[in-house]
Amino acid sequence: PQAKQIKIRDSTSNRGQRVVVCGWVHRHRVQGKDLMFIWLRDGTGFLQCVLTGQMCHTYNAVTLQLESTVSLYGTLKEVPAGKTAPGGHELQVDYWELIGAAPGGDEAITNKISAEASPDLLYDQRHLVIRGDTASAVLRLRHATLRGFRAFFDKKGLYEVTPPLMVQTQVEGGSTLFHFQYYGEEAYLTQSSQLYLETCLPALGDVYCITESFRAEKSHTRRHLAEYTHIEAELAFITFNDLLDFLEDMVCSVVDFVLASKEAPYFKELHKDFVPPKRPFRRMDYSDGIKWLNDNGIKKEDGSDYVFGDDIPEAPERKMTDAIGEPIMFCRFPVEIKSFYMKRDPKDTKLTESVDVLIPNVGEIVGGSMRISDLAELLAAYKREGIDPSPYYWFTDQRKYGTCEHGGFGLGLERFLAWMLNRYTVRDCCLYPRFPGRAQP
Ligand code: 4AD
Ligand code: MG
């Protein structure tokens, strides 16, 4: 009889029909000579399929190894009472075809890619690892999270733009630039699209971008990638407090979006006891952070106390964030330890109107600030930082052609996911991670 080809997600509306479903053998169980169960995977869901009698032996069903591709023909039936299957149905197979074989036995990837496998093996084999339950759940939730950010920005009326990744200006200092030859000229892979977003304000109003940033980080840490997905936004005619409110609203809205998305069932499997952050977020100035470290006996490596002006390294910052146990908006860093473009705090010009959002277990997920809007101040900042202003002419022009108060931020998507999805490292929160020593697959 005729069989309509369907996706697994459409099983419910096709109950009682004869259908054909194409997919990959996710799991299988052979029970004696006459009964075999296959869990079929097609990306839209999982379907339990039952092969009985001659379906098992006539065509050597042993060829159906894990990860082989098949099309299964049969009737979709409600599972008998007392049994469970995804969606409450199973396919009673009356015919099947092998589309693509996979090596079984000792060569089966699932034998090699166990939880105990070495991280190197897992990253070498990541093209196969992503077929697994955990890695594919993370990628699905990454998709839901990206949609959550876009939905939030859309609601706030921001335009999405796509700035270039090949650039000739630095944003966050020269030490983490990837250099390359661009038609005989020196160029870099972008560290941040912030400066380009700033140029869009007079053209489009508030804007955002979601694109890759690159950092030649020398540190092998679980929260640094050489290439990461950077979610950046720039907002015109705001105050520093508006920026903080926006960030808080964004983090909470994206969490709510993901928890209400159709991928939410995968979330529960990754992070059972997740508690959405409470509003308002704690706001803490850098100078109070220094005091917190001293009050809690956290010292520098040489045993001395932290003092105003010190760049607080990752380890003590994490200790403080983990001890406080909730998101912190860490504000108003000294000018010397922050980027050239940051606006000074009008109440204390040693400080900048800057913020890092710190999250327990992960650390900094957002860096943001108000930007210098005054031309003379910007020129002085280039000078202080030893930056040659000539390649920045277009950025400088923003202060000549109708400047405005504005601010913005960048959020590392993989860090956000490491927090929300309870992953140990950002390396497991992207498709194919890039870090020192790894550019494959
Ligand atoms: O704090 P950063 O360096 O700030 C900027 O790049 C600003 N220009 C952004 C802006 O205001 N538009 O980076 C922003 C965020 C960090 O808070 C962190 O979440 C993430 O980007 N990030 C990284 N994520 C993974 N691997 C790395 N090597 C990262 N470096 C920064
Ligand atoms: Mg930062």
Q: What is the pLDDT along the chain (441 residues), one digit of tens a residue?
A: 678 999 999 999 999 999 999 999 999 888 888 889 999 999 999 999 999 988 877 556 556 788 999 999 999 999 888 888 888 899 999 999 999 988 876 666 666 667 678 889 899 999 999 999 999 999 999 999 999 999 999 999 999 999 999 999 999 988 899 999 999 999 999 999 999 999 999 999 999 999 999 999 987 899 999 999 999 999 999 999 999 999 999 999 999 999 999 999 999 999 999 999 999 999 999 999 999 999 999 999 999 999 999 999 999 999 999 999 999 999 999 999 999 999 999 999 999 999 999 999 999 999 999 999 999 999 999 999 999 999 999 999 999 999 999 999 999 999 999 999 999 999 999 999 999 999 999
Which secondary-structure segment (H or E) carries 393?
Answer: helix 393-400
Residue 107 pLDDT = 61
Per the structure block, which two tokens stand in for 81? 């009472």
Residue nearest to atom 2 of ligand 1 (CA): 367
Quick one: which atom of ligand 1 is closest to the CA of 368? Answer: 11
Residue 254 pLDDT = 98
Quick one: which atom of ligand 1 is closest to the CA of 176? Answer: 28
Planar angle of CA 350, 355, 360, nearest 5 degrees: 130
Ligand 1 centre distance from Cα of residue 209 (Å): 13
Residue 218 pLDDT = 85
Which secondary-structure segment (H or E) carries 57?
Answer: helix 54-57
Which secondary-structure segment (H or E) carries 72?
Answer: strand 69-78
Pocket of ligand 1 (CB under 6 A): 171-172, 191-192, 194, 215, 217, 224-225, 228, 230, 232, 364-368, 408-412, 414-415, 426
Quick one: which atom of ligand 1 is closest to the CA of 366? Answer: 17
Quick one: which atom of ligand 1 is closest to the CA of 369? Answer: 11
Ligand 1 centre distance from Cα of residue 184 (Å): 29
d(CA 439, CA 441): 6
In this prediction the pTM is 0.95
368: Cβ contacts below 8 Å, ≥ 6 apart: 243, 247, 354, 355, 356, 357, 407, 408, 409, 410
d(CA 332, CA 350): 9
Structural domains of the chain sorted by starting position, each given as residue range(s) with its CATH number in brackets: 4-107 (2.40.50.140), 126-429 (3.30.930.10)
Residue type, 424: Y
ipTM exceeding the 0.90 mark: yes
Pocket test for ligand 1, best of 194, 230, 321, 434 (most atoms within 8 A of CB): 230
Residue 382 pLDDT = 96
The alpha carbon of residue 62 and the mean position of all alpha carbons in its chain are separated, in whole angstroms, by 39
Residue 156, classed as helix, strand or coil, is: coil
d(CA 18, CA 72): 10
As residues whose CB is below 5 A from the ion ligand 2, the structure lists 367
Exposed/middle/buried for residue 342 (C-beta within 10 Å: 0-12, 13-18, 19+): buried
d(CA 427, CA 421): 13
Ligand 1 centre distance from Cα of residue 41 (Å): 36
Residue 287 pLDDT = 97
DSSP state, residue 436: T
Tens digit of each residue's pLDDT (9 = 90 or more) over 159-210: 999 999 999 999 998 889 999 999 999 999 999 999 999 999 999 999 999 9
